[in-house]
Amino acid sequence: MKKVAFFETKPYDKESFDRANNGRYDISYFETRLKAPAVPLAEGFDAACAFVNAEIDRAVVEGLVKRGVKILAMRCAGYNNVDFQAANEFGLTVVRVPAYSPYAVAEHAAALLLTLNRHIHKAAARTKDFNFSLVGLTGFDLHGKTAGIVGTGKIGRIFADICKGFGMRVIAYDAFPNPATGLEYVSLDQLLAESDVVSLHCPLVPETHHLINAETLKKVKPGMTLINTSRGGLIDSDALLAALRSGQVGGAGLDVYEEESEWFYEDRSDVTRQNKTLSLLVSMPNVILTSHQAFLTREALSNIAQTTLDNLDAYFAGKPLENEICYHCLKSGGHPKEGCVKRAQGLCQG
């Protein structure tokens, strides 16, 4: 039986993976996050399983391979935290879960928008103290407003459908527009200028790092609401903080933060030296920040476990890896590259 080292384990992870595993693999669960100091834990394992905030640099890749790990199964969609050049060099196969529940993430984005707009968080806190004042709780009708969707993959398209259900006009920006979606594609500048709500649903790659920054925030419709359930690095947090203070941005619903790896998924309430920018964002009355929980539904956890184990099954059976992140194809912008050795062998799906 193949052995899997499972890092950054939470109770819900163990429950969903034990249910899906059904004796297929010998899984050892570790609470520690996968980064350099944790690598010795992988000694003698055939596979390692990591999550979105792991730090999988060259040293970690080399250390895993030297200890016998042949495949890294990311139980998430994002992979910007993996050194793929090193993975290719040392022969470490990397797979992921590209779509666990796009509905979960899109619905959480809508929840952030509704809570922020109608001040549900404030109202709930007030009524617990028997304060039933409505002062300061005024929102705006979503109906008739414009929603700008940045990134039109599955999650972005589902969020667009939700916005249409509210009676909103929907416009979209994507580096690779898909006419089959039926969405109205515009330039990023036009989207920022016209949108009352901007929701980010694109991956974090070098081209999208700090896509929302001091310069782009000058172009937004004054008072707009910004939603981010994708990756924290899409937003320059200091620039957002300044725009919130000036009123250029009316509110922000964030499920991610660009320096979240040291803070999210754990109870940090007793830490005295907090991250300054994060502390300021959390303290603002027009910001809601959740701890990267958009994925957290029963259905998503089940899909993550099943797909991760299916990825491992395919690898150890020598079958094509539908969810492999191929270094050769990654270098060509995510498109299949002629001459890809794995593709020629029928192993890379591009």
Residue numbers annotated as active site: 231, 260, 292
C-alpha distances (whole Å) from 146 to each of 151, 173, 224 are 16, 13, 10
Is 49 in contact with 315 (CB distance < 8 Å)?
no
Q: Residue 209: how many CB atoms within 10 A of its CB?
A: 15
Distance from C-alpha of 186 to C-alpha of 192, rounded to nearest angstrom: 10
Q: What are the distances in angstroms from CA 265 to CA 9, 53, 93, 114?
A: 10, 9, 26, 24
Do residues 291 and 308 lie in contact, with contact meaning Cβ atoms separated by under 8 Å? Answer: no
Q: Bridge-partner residues for 200, per DSSP?
A: 150, 228
Please choose, from the candidates 192, 176, 184, the residue with its C-alpha nearest in 3D space to the C-alpha of residue 160: 184
In this structure, what are the phi and psi dihedrals at residue 338, rounded to the nearest 5 degrees? -60, 135
| 185/187 Cα distance (integer angstroms) | 7
Rounded alpha-carbon distances, angstroms, from residue 186 to 174, 193, 211, 235: 9, 11, 16, 20
Whose tokens are 């949108």? That residue is: 195
